[in-house]
A and B are shown apart, each in its own frame.
Chain A
Amino acid sequence: MSDDSPQKIRTEAIESLLKERGLIDEEAIDEVIAMYNERVGPMNGARVVARAWTDPDFKRALLADGTEAVAPYEFEGGQMEKLVVVENSPGLHNVVVCTLCSCYPWAMLGLPPRWYKDPAYRSRIVREPRKVLKEFGVHLDDGTEVRVWDSSAEVRYLVLPERPAGSTGLDETALAALVTRDAMIGVARL
């Protein structure tokens, strides 16, 4: 008997059988894992956000048609046939979820964190978003509207956070470093 988790053992069983039949393409697996470890992640979304903060024409285009606006970046990672960017402003806060599975804009943010895929977040954020956001440290006054975006089809959502106070004069690269994954999901403010 083993102390390994049932999932680990099951994975090894399936993998070893597939390997014996020559069905596993190791190179393809290494490539896809390298892609998500190295080239796909929240730094992509952060570049887009920082540019929107500094380039009003780009921001207008991004909010009007996110897919087209980010196309020139040629981000890898999939899960993003259509991108809709929703903007936070004083009196308006946006937050993204997928209650039915765990849809997430991989190409902009990388693979989702565990809490995003867990039942607690998926069940609660559509029902009591203010309470959940408070637990994340986002305190909204009663006058602030909360818009929840439940990604129930192939459209993917990205929150454009408010530019932080005190960031005047920073260039796009410095601004991008301030943008977090959580702010682009909508569970943090900058």
Chain B
Amino acid sequence: MDGIHDLGGREGFGAVEYEADEPTFHAQWERRVFGLYLQRLGGAGNIDRRRHAIERIDPRAYLDHGYYGRWLGAMETLLCEANVLTREEIDARAASLGARPDDLVAARPSTKPDVMGDTEDPGDSIRPLTRSPRFGVGDDVMTMRHGVPGHTRLPAYARGRRGCIVLHHGGWVFPDTNAHGKGEYPQHLYTVAFTGAELWGETAEPGVVVHLDLFEPYLEFDDV
């Protein structure tokens, strides 16, 4: 999904705003969202589904509402999609607490959410594989040229790029299927190194290597 979350290499966000002696939470509501979200209400909460729920919130809220605002949007999305709460009752309660009609709400629950089944979140992602890895350390690889709908972990800035395998991590749950209730389909995972020049061309800074952890289906041999 070519969403607002895929930020690597985007321009125009300005300087990094550093805060000295930063508190863990900046407001009481952030603390509550943190505690509530980790309870995984809304069911079938595997990590990939929860990450994708964040990607699906309103893109304006993604940029404006902060990290815990994104979690809040994801939490509401999942609660509504699981029919634990309805959008209408949350809207009504929020209005009674002083919300304005034009307040930006982050959550955008789907009317046709993925059917996740009643599986519990196993809480881990390593899945040893008996099949051999297709690539080995030192192999030159090329990443997929195009994005895919839904959740995926190949950032747009590294699509259609040549890299080199530097680590092999064995088998892991495949987020692209797991996020959508289609099963874990474990895949070999590799750390792939890309030069700055390969990613950014002539504008690249010298002496930069960017590493990404990429699943086998994202990669092909680079034999050009």
Contact = CB atoms under 8 A, between A and B. Distances in A.
B97 interface: yes
Q: Residue among B38, B63, B213 with the most chain A CB within 10 A?
A: B213
Interface of B: 5-11, 13-19, 22, 24, 26-29, 31-36, 38-39, 41, 47, 51, 54, 63, 65-69, 72, 75-76, 79, 84-85, 89-90, 93-94, 97-100, 103-106, 124-126, 153-155, 157, 167, 169, 172, 175, 189, 191, 199-200, 205-215
B7 to A, nearest CB: 4
Contacts of A30: 35
Given A100-B155, A110-B24, A146-B208, 11 more contacts: A13-B97, A18-B79, A28-B39, A101-B54, A111-B24, A119-B7, A120-B13, A122-B7, A130-B205, A153-B169, A153-B172
A32 B213 contact: no
A82 B16 contact: no
Interface residues of A, number: 71
Interface of A: 1-2, 4-18, 21, 23-25, 28-30, 32-33, 36-37, 81-82, 84, 99-102, 110-111, 113-115, 117-124, 126-132, 135-136, 142-155
Contact of A136 (B14, B18, B24, B205): B18
A145 B209 contact: yes
